[in-house]
Amino acid sequence: MNARKVYLDNNATTRMREEVLEAMLPYYKDIYGNASSVHQFGRVARVAIDKAREQVASLLGASAAEEIIFTSGGTESDNFAIKGASHALRHRGNHIITSTIEHSAVLNACRALEKDGSSVTYVPVDGNGLVKADDIRKAISDKTVLVTIMYANNEVGTIEPVEEIGRICKERGVYFHTDAVQAVGKVIFDVKTVGADLLSMSAHKIYGPKGVGAIYIKKGTKIDSIMHGGHHEMNKRAGTENVAGIVGLGKAAELAKKEIVEEVRKLKELRDYFYKGVISNIPHVRLNGDPEKRLPNTLNVGFKYLEGESIILNLDLEGIAASTGSACTSGTLEPSHVLTGMGIDAADAQGSVRFSLGRDNTKEDIDYVLAALPPIIQRLREMSPLYEKGK
């Protein structure tokens, strides 16, 4: 095994920051009270949760901390937004609009609602993975209650026209939810400008702990709970709060807000340096995703004539971690629904690899990958019958 390790799978998850861990540790040791308890032990935990709520609200640009509800992560936030809003508005209509390239947390929440009698329109995307705001406008009917379109795609990084979609939804009196799990910390935005009524985020994508996230619920938005029980989280999400996790999310949010401008600049520079190196050393490659409207850290490359899985395994032998798509769908061997949704044929979709950079990556890391990758591609192509035919 190679001694060097280069982690380029930051869209799957990130390494927790030291400062975040430090902030969390006391809540695993001495500060163990239940935040709902009235005694001192509980009150200290409550204060910590309230602080984290402020930190997350500030990162997202919410009008008030009370618009933030803590959850177990992006998946729960997506389910809460979609099922909760649909249930609350059932009397008004049963139609939901989403796109074909959403994360499985959104797609499967929509499918679950279809089984319950909702009707769902899946709008297509163009070759760069962009939803056309006009398609949303046309799809809205008097039965539509919710539009859910991701802020940025996890596989190709394409950033959707969320502000335009937000405006359309507002004009038509329809709720707008955006899954911003990949955008938070990588895109500078303010939820009020986006015009979202509901927004999902997750701590482990922003150098925080796994298993904790948040949902922004704009004041006045009608939403039913999906988790029933006690009066936690302003009666919206029952269950004893994960105090340490929430404190970690708050700290990660505070750091993300402080550092985002420099972080975005650095990631983009390194990502573009990487791609330049790839195209100047490897023939028959294509960039998947929008060349401009894209997350600063994400590079999804199609290597013609190859299987992404074998590239990943060979990179792994060199200590390099990348992925063929979303961590939630890898292992299925199906071509990515995101890439096929963009009109890429199944064979080219299978030969695509996602490299997602993070704050720990250096130019030396990228140089190491740029030295390892071309011979891997060359070797695999020489073994590929598709390559022989295509030559």
- Active-site residue numbers? 328
Tokens representing residue 128 in the block: 């760069």
CA 371, CA 378: separation in Å to the nearest integer?
12
In the stretch 200-229, what mask flags binding to ligand PLP with x, by CB under 6 A?
A: --x-x--------x----------------
Q: How far is the CB of 141 from ligand PLP (least distance, A)?
A: 26
Nearest to 299 by CA among 309, 310, 288, 308: 288
Touching ligand PLP, residues 33-52 (CB under 6 A): none
Rg over CA atoms, the chain: 21
Q: How far is the CB of 78 from ligand PLP (least distance, A)?
A: 6
Q: Which of 9, 52, 70, 73 binds ligand PLP (CB under 6 A)?
A: 73
Rounded to whole angstroms, the maximal C-alpha distance in the chain is 74
Tokens representing residue 370 in the block: 């740029």
Q: Of 36-44, 71-79, 135-143, 355-363, which segment contacts ligand PLP by CB under 6 A?
A: 71-79
Q: Of 68-76, 129-137, 224-232, 333-341, which segment contacts ligand PLP by CB under 6 A?
A: 68-76
Q: What strands, in cross-sheet order, belong to the sheet with 95-99?
A: 68-71, 213-217, 198-202, 175-179, 144-148, 95-99, 119-123
Q: Establish if 242 lies at the interface with ligand PLP (CB under 6 A).
A: no
Q: How far is the CB of 153 from ligand PLP (least distance, A)?
A: 7
CA 2, CA 267: separation in Å to the nearest integer?
25
Q: Establish if 182 lies at the interface with ligand PLP (CB under 6 A).
A: yes
Q: Which of 154, 178, 288, 336 binds ligand PLP (CB under 6 A)?
A: 154
- Smaller CB separation from ligand PLP, 9 or 318: 9
Cβ–Cβ under 8 Å, residues 298 and 354: yes
Nearest to 300 by CA among 369, 374, 354, 346: 354
What number of helices (H) and strands (E) belong to the chain?
14, 12
Nearest to 246 by CA among 34, 391, 84, 97: 34
Helix (H) or strand (E) holding 119: strand 119-123
Q: How far is the CB of 128 from ligand PLP (least distance, A)?
A: 17
Residue nearest ligand PLP (C-beta atom): 74
Neighbours of 118 (CB within 10 A): 22
Q: Which of 9, 179, 197, 348 binds ligand PLP (CB under 6 A)?
A: 179
CA 173, CA 182: separation in Å to the nearest integer?
27
Q: Which of 10, 14, 75, 297 binds ligand PLP (CB under 6 A)?
A: 75
Touching ligand PLP, residues 98-127 (CB under 6 A): 103, 105
CA 356, CA 253: separation in Å to the nearest integer?
20
Touching ligand PLP, residues 288-327 (CB under 6 A): 326-327
Q: How far is the CB of 299 from ligand PLP (least distance, A)?
A: 16
Q: How far is the CB of 308 from ligand PLP (least distance, A)?
A: 17
- Smaller CB separation from ligand PLP, 197 or 318: 197
- Smaller CB separation from ligand PLP, 75 or 86: 75
Tokens representing residue 145 in the block: 């209650």
Q: How far is the CB of 279 from ligand PLP (least distance, A)?
A: 26
Size of the site for ligand PLP (CB under 6 A): 17
Q: Establish if 181 lies at the interface with ligand PLP (CB under 6 A).
A: yes
CA 371, CA 363: separation in Å to the nearest integer?
12
- Smaller CB separation from ligand PLP, 238 or 328: 328
Q: How far is the CB of 378 from ligand PLP (least distance, A)?
A: 32
- Smaller CB separation from ligand PLP, 35 or 149: 149
Q: At what angle do helices 74-88 and 104-115 cross, to 10 degrees?
A: 30
Strands (E), 124-218: 144-148, 175-179, 198-202, 213-217
- Smaller CB separation from ligand PLP, 327 or 347: 327
- Smaller CB separation from ligand PLP, 134 or 334: 334
CA 37, CA 30: separation in Å to the nearest integer?
16
Task: Match 């190679």 to its residue by tokens.
Answer: 2
Residues of the shown chain interacting with ligand PLP in the complex, contacts defined by CB under 6 A: 73-75, 78, 103, 105, 150, 154, 179, 181-182, 202, 204, 213, 326-328
